[in-house]
Each structure stands twice: as C-alpha cells, then as structure tokens.
C-alpha cells in the first residue's frame, strides 16, 4: 500500500468522524501518525476538531472501554450481523487495516462482529470508505430520532 493511501485513509476517516458530529477517534500506536503533514492536510481541518487518542495497547484499551459498559464491534467478512441490523448505542467500532483486517486478538475481545453487505463480487471496501458507510448508517438513524 502506498504511503499516500495510508495517510489519505486516516485523513478521510477523520473528516468523516467530524462530519458526523463525533468527537474522538482511537487509533493504535502502529497506525500512521495522525499529525503527519499529509494526514493533517487531508483532514481539511477536522484534525483540530476531533480528539485523536493513540492507544499504546489497543486490546487493553478496548477491554477498558468494555468495563465502562461499551460494546466492542469489529468489522469482519465473517460477521454474524450486518451494519443495518445492529444497535449503535454505546458501541466502539473497530475498522481493520486493508491488508489484514481486524487482528485475531481484537476479534477475540469483540462482543459482535459485523459486516457491510456486498451485493456485487467485491468482498471488501477500502478502510476509509467502509468507515464512511458505517458512520453514515449511524447518522441516518440519528436523523430519524
């Protein structure tokens, strides 16, 4: 994967989080640097409105969130529920990287594995696009309330 694509995905994700009125994003320490100039430029200012939390140990961070009554939802092609069926209340949604998806360690911590239904022959989407689809299902529901 090219360096631009990695930076562009995080920038796209940050812009999408901001556009949905969400206020923070947790990334793993192994993710691209959210403050890399290429990422900052691609966020179009969203980086200044979204709190980016870098988790030293993402599995432990997710376990801690579960102690605070959040459910961890991991995206997976083997998901048992799709994003249009799940309840979005008090959920932490984990999007995997494009090469390997969500790690086995995180899948083991997850309370639910979900997927985006695919009608065509493509099996998966780009991480930035997948995040946008999921976040905007959340937005659609908020607008109906």
Tens-of-pLDDT digits for all 145 residues of the chain?
A: 333 345 578 999 999 999 999 999 999 988 888 888 888 888 898 999 999 999 999 999 999 999 999 999 999 988 989 999 999 999 999 998 877 889 999 999 999 999 999 999 988 888 999 999 999 999 999 998 8
Whether 136 contacts 18, CB under 8 Å: no
First to last CA, the chain: 40
Burial classification of residue 20, based on how many CB atoms lie within 10 Å of its CB (0-12 exposed, 13-18 middle, 19 or more buried) = middle
Whether 20 contacts 139, CB under 8 Å: yes
pTM of the model: 0.88
């Amino acid at each position: 994967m090219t360096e631009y694509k990695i930076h562009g995905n995080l920038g796209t994700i940050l812009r999408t989080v901001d556009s949905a009125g969400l206020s923070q994003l947790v990334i793993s320490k192994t993710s691209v640097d959210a403050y890399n100039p290429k990422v900052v430029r691609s966020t179009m200012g969203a980086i200044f409105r979204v709190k980016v939390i870098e988790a030293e140990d993402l599995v432990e961070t997710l376990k801690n969130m579960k102690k605070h009554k959040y459910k961890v939802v991991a995206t997976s092609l083997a998901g048992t529920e799709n994003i249009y069926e799940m309840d979005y209340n008090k959920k932490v949604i984990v999007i995997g990287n494009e090469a390997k998806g969500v790690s086995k360690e995180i899948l083991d911590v997850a309370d639910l594995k979900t997927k985006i239904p695919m009608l065509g022959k493509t099996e998966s989407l780009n991480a930035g696009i997948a995040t946008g689809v999921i976040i905007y299902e959340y937005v659609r529901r908020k607008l109906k309330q």
